[in-house]
Amino acid sequence: MRTYHICHTCIVFNFQHHGAARLASTSVVKQSDGGLFGWLLGGKSSQLPPLDVPLPGITIPPPLPDYVEPSKTKITTLPNGVKIASETSPSPAVSVGLYIDCGSIYETPASSGVSHLLERMAFKSTVNRSHLRLVREVEAIGGNVSASASREQMSYTYDALKNYTPEMVEVLIDSVRNPAFLDWEVKEQLQKIKSELAEVSANPQGLLLEALHSAGYSGALAKPLVASESAVNRLDVSILEEFVAEHYTAPRMVLAASGVEHDDLVSIVEPLLSDLPSVKRPEEPKSVYVGGDYRCQADSPNTHIALAFEVPGGWNQEKTAMVVTVLQMLMGGGGSFSAGGPGKGMHSRLYLRILSNYAQIESFSAFNSVYNNSGLFGIYAVTSPDFSSKAVDLAAGELLEIATPGKVSQEQLDRAKEATKSAVLMNLESRFVASEDIGRQVLTYGERKPIEYFLKTVEEITLNDISSTAKKIMSSPLTMASWGDVIHVPSYESVSRKFHAKTPPRPSSDRSRPARLPMASHIILPPDDADENHGQAEGEELGNDDDGEHGASSEQAPPKAALPFSATCVRISRDSYPNLRALRNASSVSLADAAYVKISEGDFGYVLDDVPHLTDYIPEIPTYPNPLQDHPAYSTVKQYFVNEDDTVPQKVVVQKNSRRGVHFRRAGPRQRVYFGPDEVKACIVTCGGLCPGLNTVIRELVCGLSHMYNVNSIFGIQNGYKGFYSSNYLPLTPKSVNDIHKRGGTVLGTSRGGHDTKKIVDNIQDRGINQVYIIGGDGTQKGAYEIFKEIRKRGLKVSVAGVPKTIDNDIAIIDKSFGFDTAVEEAQRAIDSAHVEACSAENGIGLVKLMGRYSGFIAMCATLASRDVDCCLIPESPFYMDGEGGLLQYIEKRLKENNHMVIVVAEGAGQDLIAQSIATSDQQDASGNKLLLDIGLWLTHKIKDYFRSKKMEMTIKYIDPTYMIRAIPSNASDNVYCTLLAHSAIHGAMAGYSFTVGMVNGRHTYIPFYRVTSTRNKVRITDRMWARLLSSTNQPSFLSQKDIDEASEADRLANRPPLPTVFNHRVASSFEQSASNSSNGEI
């Protein structure tokens, strides 16, 4: 007989012969006669009855059934569109969540980062509860609350015991529907986000995941999930309220629960959500996968690298999404110290083939991020810097292997499928995960698909599915991202060629190309904190100027997203200019634009923001001597030709130790040109609204091409961009345009609204046009940029020259736009007439409305020129009507002092005041822009009502000369300026550049398209020019200290130039000084 005894609470087993009696030493068991240790002396131990014999007084529970049918998800849709979905479970606890079809993809430049802030503001004070009371209520029932923001969805969840379900649902819905957004709470959370950013930027895995989206996508999915520092500085209560009001609507909400009876849940939820507005569910913002490269040099002993490709269709292509899930499990991977062990990836391909064989690699794993309509799949690696090139080769090799038939065995696939099913089923054991799965599936599919459906889909995946899906995924453009010591990371092109054999080779060097400034190894793009002013969405309409039609305004399109981290980071487009190693990830330039940005660094903080050239994409191209060297009018001019290294600084006021700062390529004729006279076929187009000087620019383009370069084939495109679709062009000769500068308007006609870029370029290509001169405002210049990009994509030998036109003078970078001087001169005449009217009546008021929807330059300069104006109102300087120090009180005071006054108002001023006082409509112009309300007419009625209430006699004359000013011919000053702009445009096009021409600090330059369209030139109300006006009119500023602080910050952001991506702060200092010394108020 063998006996094993374990004292006290441990089980004691006695084996007698072939039988066994279960024994235990517990308080209910009698001890043997020998005492507690009597068995040591041979005494008998106490003996329990067998475990299958019930103890006295214990009720045996019924046995569990052999099979329990899984709980089914029930869904109820309320009349307003809110969906309520739930499943029951025997658990005593319940998990409830409110899921909203809303995330960072729905953010705009103005609301960038709001999803991140909403996550932080979850379960704070509501209109019904203080934050303290809410916390106490949650703690009282032992609950847990949480919130999370993703790119496509917001979620708010509450876990507690089942009997507290009504309280849970009420608190959850109150927190989502009725947030108070107290100012101090918002500011507190913004400060916490700021402190988080440093931690996030030091987390390479999170940073690279953001970078893959920013570099790989153009559009919605490129927007950052983490708020940038600039977004934190900009976000406020009003942005939160507007975003929630717009997106937290009934059809976009699902309340999901796990562990509760469905009918009970509906009865609780319906009274709380049935009154939500039923607004039509908007289309999901589009995302275009384009591929790209992001690099961030950081002080780290390791290099982190990610390679990724697009998962087409996302979750809406369920079979592909499930194959990718199995693919990830099949490839597996992990960290070198934790990947092994059964169930932890020991048999995955990446562990067996990579981690087990290369000690230099710390981590190597497959990943995927799948969204509704797209996704990313790839490999993430952490390695020593000197092994990074080899690690990239290994990652590429593994990805290519799974796309090759026969390289994956059936055993490996079966193991991966079982691991996938196991992971899914074990995750769904969690009540929280089950609730989340219900909510997110109902948001995506409108239903919750049973788990058996997904298990069946996984089981049906074949080896052919694996290889064909992998091959399809890797046919998309490569996206790379790296962080740490990235010196040894291979170039984007070399890695891309491993997957795409037809990747275009880099252009070879060409001795015939002109001497070029050496390109830096890093590129500079505008900084993160300028993101609200920069960039345009893909497919933006062409010819849609916001200076073209009186009363029209245009909304800024969403910018390309920027990463929220401050680091020495760069991003490269997959088609990027060959001499450039990196482009900084920035908001002003979308990934698709990165190929066309050329920025180089020189000594002493010198930075050149260069323009594209034909040789960037056509390396073998002949050059010709410039015909001007034999022209009798020019050949005698000493140093007439511009040197290739001549540049113009953006700033001219410097300090003793200033860096040289940002420069633009100087405009003017080159000794060598890229078009022969007989080869040139040029076209000219005008778009947008009318402006003095349009005909002068047309005339000088035609005469300049003909007289300076002997070009005979020049055509006019009639009626704007849509004229490219016409079968007839208007031939232009010096004789036909000889006196058109004496007329207003444009002899070519103009139009507004968007057109198809590809069709325009088709027409250019079919007609053999190789020089395109485009005259128009910022919308037109954006169109010119899109045309150039399509031209370059097709490899056409075509130069695109933009001549900026805006009567408001609101185009960035340049000193002024043509037509502005004429507009100010004519506006002064209108002011003089208003002054005469005011002086001729008792308590007379002359009110003049002038152009300026976003920028008040015309109103400001005309006021300063007149000296008869008592009050000037512009969009940049807010004002208020009533109360102490308000406009009406000031008018009354001025009339009592002088018996008359003159008011000048820009058309964009006071729009917020009008919207607050009257019902506004959504009328739009031909381009789809919302029309501005008539501030002049509104002010007239307000002033009349005020003096009527005061029982004071007064006379007011309202003068609106805007259309008259737009239609007049240009004055002498503008005629000269138009001539110089036209000639500079011709010289640049002949030299093979594509650009916008403009004067910077008195010198004509070639400016990249994106720089003049990324932001607006505005009056700086913190500048000396505006101070001069206030001194001239003696008007109050109407500004609070908050207004002044906000204006100062806006000036800093709007005028801060590109930030270089070098390994020190030397050049960054140059850019900061460029911002601090620029003064666009001085003209």
Please list the active-site residues: 808
965 is in an annotated binding site: yes
- Report the alpha-carbon distance of residue 799 to residue 3 in Å, rounded: 98
What is the spatial distance between Cα 174 and Cα 130, in angstroms, rounded to a whole number? 11
Nearest CA among 806, 766, 788 for reference residue 686: 806
User: Is 1009 within 8 Å of 845 (Cβ atoms)?
Assistant: no
Structure tokens at 322: 């499930």
Instruction: Say whether 777 counts as a known binding-site residue.
Output: yes
The annotation status of 173 as a binding-site residue, yes or no, is no
Ligand-binding annotation for 853, yes or no, is: yes
Task: Measure the CA–CA gap between 105 and 984, rounded to whole angstroms.
Answer: 42
**Which amino acid is residue 629, in one-letter code?**
Q
Please indicate if the annotation marks 57 as binding a ligand: no
At 702, the amino acid letter reads V
**Residue 853 phi, psi (nearest 5):** -75, -40
84 is in an annotated binding site: no
Distance CA 63, CA 58 (A): 15
d(C-alpha 169, C-alpha 153), whole Å = 19
H-helix or E-strand spanning residue 74: strand 74-77
Q: Is 964 labelled a binding residue? A: yes
Instruction: Determine if residue 506 is labeled as part of a ligand binding site.
Output: no
Query: Binding site annotation covers 966?
Result: yes
Query: To 10 degrees, the CA torsion angle through 303, 309, 313, 319?
Result: -90
Is 868 annotated as belonging to a binding site? no
Alpha carbons 785 and 780: distance in angstroms, whole number: 9
Query: What are 341's two structure tokens?
Result: 């062990």
- Residue 689 labelled as part of a binding site: yes
Burial class of residue 246, CB neighbours in 10 A (0-12, 13-18, 19+): middle
Q: Please choose, from the candidates 505, 514, 482, the residue with its C-alpha nearest in 3D space to the C-alpha of residue 578.
A: 505
Q: Map tokens 């004071």 to a residue.
A: 952
DSSP 1057: -
**1019 close to 874: Cβ distance less than 8 angstroms:** yes
Record the tokens describing residue 395, joined without a space.
């990652």
**CB crowding 199-233: b at 16 or more within 10 Å, else e:** ebbeebeebbbbbbbbbbbbbbbbbbbbbbbbbbb
Q: Does the annotation flag 852 for ligand binding?
A: yes
Q: At what angle do helices 165-177 and 262-273 cross, to 10 degrees?
A: 30
Backbone angles phi, psi at 429, to 5 degrees: -65, -25
Q: Which residues of 938-953 are buried (b: 16+ CB within 10 A; e: fewer)?
A: bbbebbeebbeeeeee
780 is in an annotated binding site: yes
β-pairing verdict for 11-16 and 2-4 = antiparallel
Q: Which amino acid is at 297?
A: Q
* Separation of alpha carbons 904 and 833, rounded Å: 12
Tell me if 439 is assigned to a ligand binding site: no
221 CB-side CA count, 13 A: 23
The answer to whether the beta carbons of residues 1039 and 873 sit under 8 Å apart is no
What is the 3-class SS of 444-471, one letter each residue?
Answer: HHCCCCCHHHHHHHHHCCCHHHHHHHHH
C-alpha closest to that of 444 among 676, 252, 194:
252
Residue type at position 302? N
Token pair listed for 245 = 């009001």
- DSSP of 77-144: E-TTS-EEEEE--S-SEEEEEEEES-SGGG--TTTTTHHHHHHHHTTS-BSS--HHHHHHHHHHTT-E
Please answer whether residues 369 and 354 qualify as being in contact, where contact means their C-beta atoms are separated by less than 8 angstroms. no
Q: Residue ranges for the binding site for ATP?
A: 689, 752-753, 777-780
Return binding residues for Mg(2+): 778
Which residue numbers belong to the known binding site?
689, 752-753, 777-780, 806-808, 851-853, 907, 963-966
Binding residues for substrate: 806-808, 851-853, 907, 963-966
